[in-house]
Each structure stands twice: as C-alpha cells, then as structure tokens.
C-alpha cells in the first residue's frame, strides 16, 4: 500500500500507566479506528497452532492442560523472558510480525478512515515507529505513573519499576515522538487530542 491510497498509520505509545488506554478512548470517540496490539496478541494464546510454536520455543514446562485443551502458562513464560533477553527476542519474533500483519488487515478493513491508530507500549523498543507515519506519545512522569499503577494493578513499586526499566524512559519516548499528550491530572486531555486529531486530518 502506498501512503496516498491508505489511511495514515499512527502509533500511540507511552510508558505503562501513562494513560494510553484513556487517550485511545478519546480517539475512539472521534470515530478513529483503534487497534490495541496487546489485546490482539493476547488472543493468539487461543490458537492451537500458536500454542505449538510456543511449546517449540519454551518446552513443555510452559504448557498446562485445560481439560483436553492445551494452554500456555503466561506467568511461566513471563518469568523466562524477564530474565532471558534472548528468549524475549524469540518470543517477540513470533508475536510482533503477526501483530503487524493483523494490523495491516485492520487498516485494509478501515481503508476509508483518514488515519488508524496502533496502540503499543513498545513502539520504539520494537521498531514499530519506523513502520508508521507518525508517533503520538502519552507522557506522564514516573512518580505519578507509579501511583496510578499501584492502584490499578495492585503491584508493588519494585515490580512496577522492574517493568519500567525494561522499556525506554518516558522522556526519551516523548523526545522522539511527533506529537505528545501530557496526561497530568487536570490537564485538558480532550483538547490536546482534538488538536492532534485536526492536524492528522489535515495531513491525511
Ligand atoms: P496505560 O494504558 O498507559 O497503561 P491507562 O490508560 O490504563 O494507562 O491509565 C493508567 C491509570 O491512570 C488508570 O487507572 C487510569 O484510570 C488513570 N488515568 C489515566 N489518565 C488519567 C488522568 N488524566 N487523570 C487521572 N487518572 C488518570
């Protein structure tokens, strides 16, 4: 697809707890088709062919029986990839190309839209930024993200910090993005999204 006969491809990113989902919902309200990479990837774990690929990668120790259905133990997989960057790379190589293919199908199904959003926490870490036309980053400082996540995920500070350290810093993401939404409490988020929306409508 050339850029003239398809919607603009927009990545929406930001560190965990910055408010990506909340901002994405603002774009949804404006009628923009939104694709949530994590949600789509989560669905792969229902696919027997994908489960066999997971088994081939990580062995039987990450598989559980669920009646006569095979299931992957996502916690066991998370533990492995958390401490083994090579295993994480192999898991990513299995999931992300498939996510991107599914996204392109989603774009074709929404070919009349001015732009389409691909929401992912790891736009830069995995190089999705180079596949899209523009990146929108939601920014919130770490302390406030920790506070929100402690409430949302009931995780400890240490667990949350470990997850954050696995990603590029929020500041770096913000510096590299084409558009930034500052998601401080009380900041007019709707207005910022509307402003970006108007610019993207103009560019498309
Ligand atoms: P992400 O998808 O980036 O992990 P979420 O959109 O789930 O982040 O937001 C993280 C938490 O912060 C949620 O509990 C959400 O309700 C809350 N939140 C998001 N934006 C704001 C805001 N502007 N003011 C107060 N709380 C917010």
Residue 15 belongs to a domain with what CATH number?
Answer: 3.40.50.300
Domain extent for 134: 3-203
- The number of domains in the chain is 1
Evaluate: CB of 20 within 6 angstroms of ligand 1: yes
Minimum CA distance residue for ligand 1 atom 26 = 185
Lowest mean pLDDT across 4-8, 29-33, 44-48: 4-8
Question: Is the pLDDT reported for residue 29 higher than 60?
Answer: yes
Residue 27 pLDDT: 98
Residue 96 pLDDT: 95
Nearest atom, ligand 1, residue 185 CA: 24
Question: Over the chain, what is the mean pLDDT?
Answer: 93
Nearest atom, ligand 1, residue 119 CA: 2
Give Cβ neighbours of residue 122 (< 8 Å, ≥ 6 apart).
13, 128, 167
Sign of torsion over alpha carbons 44, 110, 129, 153: negative
Q: Dump the DSSP string for 130-184.
A: GTSSEEEEEE--HHHHHHHHHHHH---HHHHHHHHHTS--HHHHHHH-SEEEE--
- Where residue 185 falls among pLDDT bands split at 50, 70, 90? confident
Evaluate: CB of 15 within 6 angstroms of ligand 1: no
Residue 1 pLDDT: 53
Which residue reads 């996540």 in tokens? 149
**Total-model pTM:** 0.91
Question: Is the pLDDT reported for residue 3 higher than 80?
Answer: no
Centre of ligand 1 from the C-alpha of residue 56, in Å = 37
Ligand 1 test: best mutation among 22, 25, 167, most atoms within 8 Å of CB? Answer: 22
């Amino acid at each position: 697809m050339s850029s003239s006969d398809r919607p603009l491809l927009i990545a929406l990113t930001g560190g965990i707890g910055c408010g990506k989902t909340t901002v994405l919902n603002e774009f949804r309200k404006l009628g923009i088709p939104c694709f949530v990479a994590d949600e789509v990837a989560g669905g792969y774990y229902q696919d027997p062919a994908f489960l066999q690929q997971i088994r081939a990668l990580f062995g039987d120790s990450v598989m559980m029986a669920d009646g006569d259905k095979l299931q992957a133990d996502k916690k066991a997989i998370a533990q492995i990839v958390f401490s083994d960057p090579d295993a994480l790379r192999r898991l990513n190589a299995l999931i992300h190309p498939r996510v991107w293919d599914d996204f392109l199908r989603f774009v074709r199904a929404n070919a009349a839209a001015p732009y389409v959003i691909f929401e992912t926490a790891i736009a830069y870490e995995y190089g999705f930024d180079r596949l899209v036309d523009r990146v929108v980053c939601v920014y919130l400082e770490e302390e406030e993200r920790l506070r929100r996540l402690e409430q949302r995920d009931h995780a400890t500070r240490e667990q949350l910090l470990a997850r954050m350290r696995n990603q590029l810093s929020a500041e770096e993401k913000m510096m590299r993005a084409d558009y930034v939404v500052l998601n401080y409490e009380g900041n007019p988020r709707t207005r910022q999204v509307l402003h970006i929306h108007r610019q993207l409508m103009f560019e498309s």
